[in-house]
Structure 1
Amino acid sequence: MHPFLIMPSGQSRGGAEEALRQLVRFREQSGFEALTVCFLEGGDLVGKISESGVEVHQVFAGRLRHVHRYLWTLVRLRSLIRRSGCDLVFSWMTKAHIYGAPVGGMLGLPTVYFQHGVPDRGPVDFLCRLLPASGALACSQYAAGCQQAVTRVPVLAATVGADLDRFQGRPAQRDPGVRQRLGLPEDRPVVGMVGRLQRWKGMHVFAEALAEVRRTRPEVTGVIVGGGHDLEPDYEPFLRRRIGELGLGEDLRLVGKQDNVPEWMEAFDVFVHASEREPFGIVVVEAMAMGKPVIATVPGGPQEILRDGVEGLLVPWSDGEAMSRAILRFLDEPLFALACGAEAQKRAQDFSAQRYAERVGEAVRQLLS
């Protein structure tokens, strides 16, 4: 099988882009004979995928509402697929399927799309569901269930993984110089988050939880690693205002996007993931792989990754009080935190990038059988 994979995003924005990098890196484990990737916009991800040795193309599709550009893109994609000899149109994200489904129909090829998020009521997801497909993949059982409830095609989970080679650590052990290098206090507990600054990621809920924690543990410092998102430019100013209103000041630091995420995670005593209806949560697996006691939110993908009270703690996604109690439990019960971190590190091995590539190949073959 030789998929022609259509990727609408050329920028490294989040989980869907990281999942593509994993599949390309470990494509041999997927069982695909070859893989061709076509981007519909430019960006840093194009270069990263090109360096991996797969065949890469770019077709600058523009906006969907520009009908003439959309039709030109379909013609261009049809030509590229014919020349590449691909036998499957694989749309990476729902927007890509708006291009992939018509082109697959023109060429008489099967089409599959990957629903990386939870389906919404927006026009892109709605249009994607109207188009024919051999089936769809989802990044977790939770996301698959949400998608299956609104579509007629079969949906299978291909649970995403993490780069476990990059994220490694030992519970209760930390590089003694890491906090000094990052400008963090050596003698205070540090609770942190990693993610793009978007409302659904719940950074404001984390801020509210931290303010509550500091009522009894005023020495606790919070850190949020992650830059703003171009689709939500107003969220970072809102978050900074909320931090000020809560009286946190420099006790909750927004350090922006960082390339050395494992180093920041190593500096944390507790890791928090606060998203609303998280489709999967790659960053949860990354923190677990480093042996961190993790707090994550439900409902969502994290409930498939860790068991409450075993590999971490689960709390309702919008409940700042429940989150603060979970943080305090880890801080007040260091042996419990250590035990959760050790179990989390074991569990993380089930979510390797290699195994993820295998799951993608298995799911696609099952949909086409």
Structure 2
Amino acid sequence: MRIGLAGFDPADATDLAVAAHYARALRRRGHRVVARGAEVWHLHLFGRDPGPFLRKAERGRWPVVTTLHLVLADYLRFAGGRRTLERLARLGPLAAVCAAQRREALRLVPALAGRLRAVYSCGPSLPRARGRAAAPIILCSARLAPYKGIDLLLMAFARLRETRPEARLVLAGRDQSRGSLAGFAGRLGLAPHVEFAGQLSPSALSRRLAEARVFVLPSRRENFPIALLEAMSAGKAVVATRAGGVSELVRHGVDGLLVPSGDPGALTRAMRRLWDDPALRRRLGASARRRARRFSWDAAAAAYEPLYAAAA
């Protein structure tokens, strides 16, 4: 089948890496990835306005499969967000990136019933790296936006340092807080102990993962977090909140430690537990690596084939 991919930002390195990995998986399954003349278009909706593509698809009556890579409650606050989803549903099936997102979507947009199924996301494969930080670090790789709960992590980290003063925190990701998180870290007395590393290249992220003792994702809301999947693929012991589809990826006490959303005290206790227990870190990290292998590009491509057939 000839499949066109749409919705990726050509200026975003992560978007381009995702598109390249998925295109290779489709080719391995015998499909052709084309820029025009597609039998089915696969739109990846990250929250950017799909209006130009949507209008072309409606005029040309293109069959379209849409994947929802977004926090739905936030997207629906934008004027026209609900209408856009309903228009896309008329062009073909939609895919949520986890079961939790599918449940939320059907609750918020009942018109999607019968058009929406869950297909797990994958992330860019990071190059392997080995390393050890000069001082032990905790790593969080996430967009620095309110729903990611970075403020909660800073509060939890401040409590951790009361008894583990050697710990350092590295925050990797695009800063959408306009500096407010750095200011908050300063008010907590953490400025010398927190590094705002910015958005890292895949090789740089791989190096920081190799250096990290613990990976933490403190989200208030989530879908199926690719950053968490990357950390698990690297064999890291992880702490994450029970937000969205996180518990579909991480089994508490098996692949990582899960805590309630919005609870800095629980984050502190989980981080301290992993910080102090190398054997537990090794056991959870090894299990996390095995677990992450289940969420492969080839599995995703196979899961989308029935949706492509239904759209065409």
Q: What's the TM-score once normalised by structure 1's chain length? A: 0.74
What is the identity, as a one-letter code, of the residue corresponding to 1:9? D
What is the identity, as a one-letter code, of the residue corresponding to 1:195? A
User: What does 1:1-369 align with in structure 2 at a 5 Å threshold?
Assistant: 1-7=1-7, 9-12=9-12, 18-29=17-28, 31-32=30-31, 34-36=32-34, 55=35, 84-93=36-45, 97-120=50-73, 121=76, 122-131=78-87, 132-149=90-107, 150-153=109-112, 154-164=115-125, 166-168=126-128, 175=131, 178-179=132-133, 184-185=134-135, 189-228=136-175, 232=176, 235-259=177-201, 260-365=204-309, 367-368=310-311
Alignment partners' CA distance in 2, 1:105 and 1:253: 47
Contact 2:58 2:91 in 1 (8 A): no
Alignment partners' CA distance in 1, 2:261 and 2:128: 27
Cα pair distance change 1:330/1:350, threshold 3 Å = same
What is the identity, as a one-letter code, of the residue corresponding to 2:67? F
- Aligned to 1:350, what secondary structure does the other structure show? coil
Contact 2:238 2:256 in 1 (8 A): yes
Corresponding residue pairs, total: 301
Cα pair distance change 1:292/1:213, threshold 3 Å = same
- 1:36-79 deviation per Cα after TM superposition (whole angstroms, max 9, x unaligned): 3xxxxxxxxxxxxxxxxxx4xxxxxxxxxxxxxxxxxxxxxxxx
- Aligned to 1:106, what secondary structure does the other structure show? helix
Q: What's the TM-score once normalised by structure 2's chain length? A: 0.87
Contact 2:67 2:95 in 1 (8 A): yes
- Aligned to 2:72, what secondary structure does the other structure show? coil
Alignment partners' CA distance in 2, 1:147 and 1:257: 29
What is the identity, as a one-letter code, of the residue corresponding to 1:238? S
Q: Name stretches of at least 5 consecutive residues in structure 1 with no aligned partner.
A: 37-54, 56-83
Cα RMSD (Å): 2.4
- Aligned to 2:252, what secondary structure does the other structure show? coil
Question: How far apart are residue 221 of structure 1 and its match?
Answer: 1.3
Alignment partners' CA distance in 1, 2:98 and 2:230: 16
Contact 1:90 1:100 in 2 (8 A): no
Alignment partners' CA distance in 2, 1:167 and 1:359: 26
Cα pair distance change 1:258/1:157, threshold 3 Å = same
Alignment partners' CA distance in 2, 1:320 and 1:17: 35
Question: How far apart are residue 9 of structure 1 and its match?
Answer: 2.9
Cα pair distance change 1:23/1:362, threshold 3 Å = farther
Alignment partners' CA distance in 1, 2:48 and 2:210: 36
Contact 1:158 1:363 in 2 (8 A): no
Q: Report the structure number with the largest CA radius of gyration.
A: 1
What is the identity, as a one-letter code, of the residue corresponding to 1:196? R
Alignment partners' CA distance in 2, 1:362 and 1:282: 24
Question: How far apart are residue 266 of structure 1 and its match?
Answer: 0.5
- 1:108-149 deviation per Cα after TM superposition (whole angstroms, max 9, x unaligned): 332322211131322242221231232201222222222233
Cα pair distance change 1:21/1:273, threshold 3 Å = farther
Alignment partners' CA distance in 1, 2:18 and 2:100: 17
What is the identity, as a one-letter code, of the residue corresponding to 2:308? V
- Aligned to 1:117, what secondary structure does the other structure show? coil
Question: How far apart are residue 332 of structure 1 and its match?
Answer: 2.3
Alignment partners' CA distance in 2, 1:236 and 1:13: 22
Q: Name stretches of at least 5 consecutive residues in structure 2 with no aligned partner.
A: none
- 1:12-56 deviation per Cα after TM superposition (whole angstroms, max 9, x unaligned): 175x65533321232214553x223xxxxxxxxxxxxxxxxxx4x
